[in-house]
Amino acid sequence: ECVHQTPQPVSLPPNPTPAELAAAAQQQQQNFISIDPTTGAGFTINNPGEAHPLRPYWEYLSYLFRKLPVLGSDEQLEADYRDYLQAPLQPLQDNLESATYEVFEKDTIKYVQYEEAVYRALCDRKACNGGKASPVVLMVVGAGRGPLVSASMRASARSQVPLRVYAVEKNANAVVHIQALLRREGWQDKVTIVTADMRTWQAPEPADILVSELLGSFGDNELSPECLDGAQRFLGPQGISIPANYTSFMAPVSCHKLWNDVKAYNDREHFETPYVAKFHRHYVLAPTQEMFSFSHPNRATPIDNNRHKRVVYTRPVELGSAIMHGFAGYFESELYKGVWLSTHPPTHTPNMSSWFPIYFPLKEPIYVPAGASVEASMWRCSGAHKVWYEWTVTAPSASPIHNVCGRSYFVGL
């Protein structure tokens, strides 16, 4: 269960020292040690005794163990979710539970970024108005329990630009928390609560800024494009959206534990369902490739949110062969002019924990020989009442197309 790839065997020399094992091999050995996220070790290494011939090897493994990084507070909170399959949210069909909101709200970094984005947008509005702080109409669509309302009001105070805020939320249970927030902060005269679905609500005035947190683990997988395309009717001619754009990324991955958890269901449906997962025992076979991009407001005519992308992942021969169990997905989102949220490993927002990656499984693992490329295609498809993904591998060997016509998984509109 610990073996993620099939590299050349790594053997320790007699009386090994830290300098005698290559950095990559040291990392591999550490990966084998750090299996249990709560204890930091997946097995016990007993002291064989001073005179035992394996004593030098024990000392070396102990050295590698001491080099393991200490889990931070965020990692400790995430430990229970490592290599655990979670179904993506259905935000339009289902109302979120209070516990789900609480998890999101613990991620203060995300709301710091939103506050900074709103602050910069307000400063730009003020500058364009000759330094005059005219009132700005801001609409939070999908306000939840109010964290984006709070972030926007903090940005207003920092920029000294007054706001008229509309908090639009269809979940009546969440609205109760917004009402309590307004009473506690004294914002009743600045924030109007709208208990309605953003798709049917008619705004009383055009908005200057539209703020939302509808992004999913793959960026667009929780219907952010469809929701914001509908909500952009609230914007005035010069109105802006926060977020302004987002792009998904994908990489082939070896993840024996997650794949076997899917296999345990013993049906086609679960192999054609993408899952939110905190990857732990895994190996990324090649660097990520860009997939689907969306921008808001979307002025295209007609608007088409269907997408298709074919990608080729190259792997150097020296990385050896590997077994591929599916794809890991991430996203980057520019909220406003240089303010970013990212789960994409090269640009990951530090200490942000709101989103785990997404996992697209394969029905059968695929053997990737040393030096072989991985070729894959993915489609984002939409119908009258649903949106879904289809994916397939065409090299080094072919897989069937997964989730044809959304037969196993879709997000309901």
Q: What is the pLDDT at residue 133? A: 86
Burial category of 69 from C-beta neighbours within 10 Å (exposed 0-12, middle 13-18, buried 19 and up): exposed
E strand spans, 217-337: 235-242, 245-254, 275-276, 283-284, 289-295, 307-313, 321-336
Query: What is the reported pLDDT for 199?
Result: 85
Of 288, 268, 387, 281, the C-alpha closest to 328 is: 288
Residue pair 403/388 in contact (Cβ under 8 Å)? The answer is yes
The model's pTM: 0.84
89 versus 295: the higher-pLDDT residue is 295
- Considering the chain, what percentage of its residues have pLDDT values greater than 90? 71
Is the pLDDT confidence value at 370 over 70?
A: yes
- The average pLDDT across 254-272 equals 97
Average pLDDT of the chain? Answer: 89
Comparing C-alpha atoms, which of 37, 76, 2 is closest to residue 255? 2
213 is catalytic: yes
Of 13 and 183, which is predicted with more confidence?
Answer: 183
pLDDT on residue 89: 77
The answer on pLDDT for 296 being more than 70 is yes
Choice among 213, 226, 272, 332 that is catalytic? 213
* pLDDT at site 40: 44
Identify the pLDDT of residue 50. Answer: 85
DSSP 8-state class, residue 216: B
pLDDT per residue over 269-284, tens digit each? 999 999 999 999 899 9
**Active-site residue, from 115, 116, 169, 222:** 222
Residue whose token pair is 């899917």? 262
pLDDT bucket at 185, cuts 50 / 70 / 90: very high
pLDDT of residue 28: 61
222 is catalytic: yes
What single letter denotes the amino acid at residue 100?
T
Per-residue model confidence (pLDDT) at position 87: 85
Q: How many CB atoms lie within 10 A of CB 130?
A: 7
How many percent of the chain have pLDDT more than 70? 87
DSSP category for residue 278: B
- How far apart are the C-alpha atoms of 212 and 58, rounded to whole Å? 53
Cα–Cα distances (Å) from 257 to 265, 282, 325, 359, in that order, read 14, 8, 10, 12
CA distances from 45 to 12, 61, 64 (A): 16, 8, 12
- Kindly report which listed range (40-54, 125-139, 237-251) carries the lowest average pLDDT score: 40-54
Flag whether pLDDT at 101 surpasses 90.
no
How far is it, in rounded angstroms, from Cα 168 to Cα 111? 18
Token pair for 405? 């016509």
Query: Is residue 11's pLDDT more than 80?
Result: no
Kind and range of the H or E run holding 207: strand 207-211
Burial 85-104 (b: 16+ CB within 10 A, else e): beebbebbeeebeeeebeeb
Binning pLDDT at 50, 70 and 90, where does residue 160 land? very high
Q: Provide mean pLDDT across the span 321-347.
A: 97
